[in-house]
Amino acid sequence: MPRTLDPELRRALAARIRYYNEMGIYDFYRRPLSVRANIPESISADQPEIAISTSQPELGDEMSPRKATAAAVPVEENIFEASALKPEQSVSDPVKALKIIREDLGDCTRCVLHKQGRKQIVFGVGNPRAELMFVGEGPGADEDAQGEPFVGRAGQLLNNMIKAMGISREQVYIANIVKCRPPGNRTPEREECETCSPFLMRQIAVVKPKVVVALGAVAAKTLLAMSASMMQLRGRFYEFRPTGVRGNDPNWDGCKLAVTYHPAFLLRDPRQKGEAWKDLQMVMKELGMRAPKANT
């Protein structure tokens, strides 16, 4: 298999993508390399799966194992990514840029969640210039009712975690991998995550945080395009660049990403709060923040 595209074909593809962009089409969905090349996934996997299965989803592998599809696509072939300049990228005001993304999302029917009882799309909330961004899994009943992420019990705990860092909810940006409530608060399917997350990637590219904190395994695995347990994912920073968005800011070439436990998991197992606090302290150090004194 040649690892590079014929330059003629590459030019033709780029012209076709520009044509689609001009018609207002920006999102292209890519099948895994193994599907395109007709190679069984079991043979073509670039990386060994390191997921473990446990009855505690937060500690194990909540989603069906996924391949790091972005990593599996040779750079030379990554023409879709290279060409996808999004409409909001011509706008410097992040408020306006986020509005453009929201409008592009529209009354979304791209995945099945739109017909499974969602009341509204939960886009994201907070400081459009935030240095710190939290990404959860998907809206629950309270979020679906109010149209804002993390406003239920898990949200109260997240607010407390943010406060413990010495900042307020209004100073950060908060969003989810999927923007519609999965029925019965089930874990979003991989396909739902992959359909919805390009919009989150665009939000991240607009906000340009210094650090993204992935809350829980679904957020971590979707953002990092890798499958691993929480134990393996936590405790370090990853270099993160939103996929599918061409950078247009010389001052922002991605950010750090840290993984911690989802607040809903911490509500179920409060003994892990100390571990989560360690993760947040690592983030605070990176951002040069100091926790307030206990009695202030």
Would you tell me which residues interact with ligand URA (CB under 6 A)?
Answer: 136-140, 143, 149-150, 152, 154-155, 176, 264
Residue 157 and residue 205 in contact, taking contact as beta carbons nearer than 8 Å: no
Residue 89 and residue 252 in contact, taking contact as beta carbons nearer than 8 Å: no
Closest to ligand URA by CB, 4 vs 168, is 168
* Shortest separation between residue 142's beta carbon and ligand URA, angstroms: 7
* Shortest separation between residue 4's beta carbon and ligand URA, angstroms: 40
Cross-sheet strand order for the sheet of 132-136: 125-126, 173-176, 132-136, 211-215, 255-260, 238-240
Residue 134 and residue 220 in contact, taking contact as beta carbons nearer than 8 Å: no
* Shortest separation between residue 15's beta carbon and ligand URA, angstroms: 40
Closest to ligand URA by CB, 140 vs 244, is 140
What is the spatial distance between Cα 234 and Cα 238, in angstroms, rounded to a whole number?
A: 10
Residue 225 and residue 148 in contact, taking contact as beta carbons nearer than 8 Å: no
What is the spatial distance between Cα 215 and Cα 259, in angstroms, rounded to a whole number?
A: 6
Closest to ligand URA by CB, 26 vs 136, is 136
Helix (H, G, I), strand (E, B) or coil at 111: coil
* Shortest separation between residue 128's beta carbon and ligand URA, angstroms: 18
* Shortest separation between residue 136's beta carbon and ligand URA, angstroms: 3
Closest to ligand URA by CB, 84 vs 257, is 257
Closest to ligand URA by CB, 34 vs 176, is 176
What is the spatial distance between Cα 76 and Cα 201, in angstroms, rounded to a whole number?
A: 21
* Shortest separation between residue 149's beta carbon and ligand URA, angstroms: 4
The helix (run of H) or strand (run of E) holding residue 262 is none
The pairing of strands 255-260 and 238-240 is: antiparallel
> Residue for token digits 């994912």?
233
* Shortest separation between residue 41's beta carbon and ligand URA, angstroms: 28
Residue nearest to ligand URA (CB): 136
Closest to ligand URA by CB, 126 vs 149, is 149
Closest to ligand URA by CB, 139 vs 198, is 139
DSSP state of 2: -
Per-residue burial over 66-82, b if 16 or more Cβ lie within 10 Å, else e, is: bbbbeebbeeebebbbe
Report the Cα 113 to chain-centroid distance in Å: 17
Tokens of 194: 């992959």
Closest to ligand URA by CB, 33 vs 259, is 259
What is the spatial distance between Cα 238 and Cα 233, in angstroms, rounded to a whole number?
A: 9
* Shortest separation between residue 36's beta carbon and ligand URA, angstroms: 32
